[in-house]
Structures are given as C-alpha cells and as structure tokens.
C-alpha cells in the first residue's frame, strides 16, 4: 500500500477530522488510534496501517 498524507482539520470530542492532502472528503478518526500530540493542523503520514507524525 502506498503512503498517504492527511491533515487534521479539527478535533471534535474524541475524534480528529482528517482530510487527505491529495484531495478527498474529510472523515473522523478516533484520537486513541492516532499518535500522541495529534492536534488541529497536524500532518499525519499513514503507512503500513499506522499513523505517524514525521
């Protein structure tokens, strides 16, 4: 699977709202599944089924 970059557009309770940087629709992701320190404006890399903050 190819790596994908996401941008956290906002935090809504226990969920981060992510948008693919290549374009696409936003979707919610549980904060518990994201790396510590994830906040609004964070860029995340999704690779091998794991989100990281590079």
Are the CB atoms for 27 and 17 separated by under 8 Å?
Answer: yes
3-state secondary structure (DSSP) of residue 45: strand
* Gyration radius of the chain's alpha carbons: 10
Name the token pair of 15.
Answer: 């969920």
The confidence score (pLDDT) of residue 39 equals 97
Q: Where are the beta strands (DSSP E) in the chain?
A: 4-12, 15-20, 27-30, 43-47, 50-52
Cα 53 from Cα 22, distance rounded (Å) = 17
pLDDT digits (tens, 9 = 90+) for 15-47: 999 999 999 999 999 999 999 999 999 999 999
Quickly state the pLDDT bin for 1 (edges 50, 70, 90): confident
The confidence score (pLDDT) of residue 11 equals 98
pTM over 0.85? The answer is: yes
């Amino acid at each position: 699977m190819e790596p994908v970059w996401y941008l956290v557009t906002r935090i809504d309770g226990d969920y981060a709202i992510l948008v693919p940087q290549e374009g696409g629709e936003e979707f919610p992701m549980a904060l518990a599944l994201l790396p510590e320190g994830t906040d609004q404006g964070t860029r995340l890399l999704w690779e091998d089924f794991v989100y990281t903050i590079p």
